Amino acid sequence: MAIPLVAVLTAAPGVIATVADIIKAIRFLRTSGSGLNDKTIKEIENLLEKQALALSELAESNRNLALAVRTNRIILVATMLVAIGALVLAFVR
């Protein structure tokens, strides 16, 4: 399934910001020191932090991929213009 380039580019900053908020919340939970079943809370915190880091890496990879695709399209257009120019020069001479 192809995802439109514009959708990836517009979603990446939001995903990165959300992941950063999740990481901040987890760090706040660690420093607040709640007394409710510390072992369970620690396990949940660890899982959420791993998930947040994975999402952050995925969002960063998606953004880089989208930028690479856009750069490739720009290079393709430039190459096509050069090729058309070469054909015109070949027919004129």
Q: What is the pLDDT of residues 55-66, one digit of tens each?
A: 778 778 888 888
Q: Is the predicted pLDDT of residue 47 greater than 90, yes or no?
A: no
pLDDT for residue 33: 64
Q: What is the pLDDT of residues 80-90, one digit of tens each?
A: 999 999 999 99
Contacts of 87 (CB under 8 A, 6+ apart): none
**Cβ atoms within 10 Å, residue 52:** 19
Q: What is the pLDDT of residues 19-28, one digit of tens each?
A: 777 777 767 7
pLDDT for residue 20: 74
Question: Which range (43-52, 61-70, 76-85) has the least confidence?
Answer: 43-52
Domain count, the chain: 1
Q: Which domain, by its residues, includes 21?
A: 5-92
Half-sphere exposure of 23 toward its Cβ, with a 13 Å CA cutoff?
Answer: 13
Extract the tokens encoding 57. 């890496």
